[in-house]
Amino acid sequence: MADEQKVPSGISSRAWQAIADKHLKPLPRWRFIFKEVILWCLFLIFLVVASISVAFIMLEFVNADWDLHNRLAGSLIDYIDMIFPYFWLICLAVVVVLAYYNFSLTRRGYKHGLLWISLGTVGLSVLLGSVLYFTNLGQYLDSVAEQYLPVQKLVMTRQHELWNNPEEGLLGGKVTALALPRFFEIRSFDDQRWVIVITEYDPRMMVRPGEMVKIIGRVLNNTTFEAHEIRPWRSHDCPCCGPDVGTSCGMKSLK
Least confident residue range of 21-25, 163-167, 194-198:
21-25
User: Is residue 213 scored above 60 in pLDDT?
Assistant: yes
Do residues 162 and 171 make contact, with C-beta atoms less than 8 angstroms apart? Answer: no
Give the HSE-up count for residue 208: Cα atoms under 13 Å, Cβ half-sphere.
Answer: 10
Q: Is the pLDDT of residue 128 over 80?
A: yes
Name the strand (E) or helix (H) holding 160: helix 150-162
Residue 66 pLDDT: 87
The least confident of 27-31, 57-61, 62-66, 229-233 is 27-31
Host H or E run for residue 215: strand 212-221
pLDDT of the residue at 114? 66
Higher pLDDT, 118 or 203: 118
**Spacing of C-alpha 24 from chain mean position:** 50
What's the confidence (pLDDT) of residue 17? 61
Q: For residues 156-174, give the mean pLDDT.
A: 85
Q: Is the pLDDT of residue 74 over 60?
A: yes
Q: What is the reported pLDDT for 240?
A: 45
pLDDT of residue 244: 42
Q: Using alpha carbons, select from 55, 67, 58 the residue that is nearest to residue 214.
A: 67
Most confident region among 80-89, 102-111, 115-124, 176-185 by mean pLDDT: 176-185
Output the average pLDDT for the chain: 76
Task: Write the burial class of residue 230 (CB in 10 Å: 0-12 exposed, 13-18 middle, 19+ buried).
Answer: buried
pLDDT class of 13 with cuts at 50, 70, 90: low
Answer yes or no: pTM beyond 0.85.
no
CATH superfamily name and code, 165-237: Nucleic acid-binding proteins (2.40.50.140)
Domain boundaries, the chain: 29-155, 165-237
